[in-house]
Amino acid sequence: MQVESPAAVLWDMDGTLVDSEKVWTVSLVQAAQWLGGELSPAAREAMVGSNMTRTLVMLFDDLGLPHDPERLAAAERFLTDRTADLFAEGLEWRPGALDALRMVRAAGWPTALVTNTWRSLTERALDGIGREHFDVSVCADEVRSGKPDPDPYLRAAELLGVAASECLAVEDSPTGALAAQRAGASVLVVPCDVEVATAPGLVLRASLVGLRPDDIRSSYVESRAERVA
């Protein structure tokens, strides 16, 4: 018998709920300058949705720098501190995101925040977003591997007591969508700064504005049908 409603809704944060990718661009550009170089547009695009470890590797590769552990650690501290300062100034909601969160909660679906941002920064973001929207949250530094690996989504499903294959993930980037798919989840993609190509199992939507319970159910059913076809 076909399941017509997800067991839970799993939300990405950066670029999906809040327009924080622009904040990351500022801190990444400044980190590159601090390291003595200039971040290329191609490298910045590749970093969207990535985790801190992979982002730093891409940054050093883009600048032609060796992967010196001490310098990588110093760059991580700089990037984390600068981003934390910018997060503290406040984050803008993506269009329709707050209403979508409230709708999903009112409809009774369990929810999780599943982000590649580290816990220390996520806590800063949650001060503005509101912890009441989520039953649990999972950050990249709390699992073995961040997105595009499935670990964050698998952990979120585990914490909620449901199977990842019975969840709907809401993402904005190819990296995040791939992580959710690898976890076996259905995926609703609302692109932000990076184009996401149409692919089996991905349901694309232009915006979260006007998202309704029926849209959650239909996205889950459509994605699930393509995954198991």
What domains sit in the chain, N to C, each tagged with a CATH number?
A: 8-19+92-228 (3.40.50.1000), 21-88 (1.10.150)
Retrieve residue 192's tokens.
Answer: 């932000």
Percent helix, percent strand, percent coil in the chain, to nearest 5: 50, 10, 35
Q: How many Å apart are CA 110 and CA 139, to the nearest integer?
A: 18
pTM recorded for the entire structure: 0.84
Nearest to 140 by CA among 125, 122, 124: 122
- Judge whether residue 44 has pLDDT over 70: yes
Q: What is the structure's pLDDT at 87?
A: 85
- Judge whether residue 193 has pLDDT over 90: no
Q: How many Å apart are CA 206 and CA 16, to the nearest integer?
A: 11
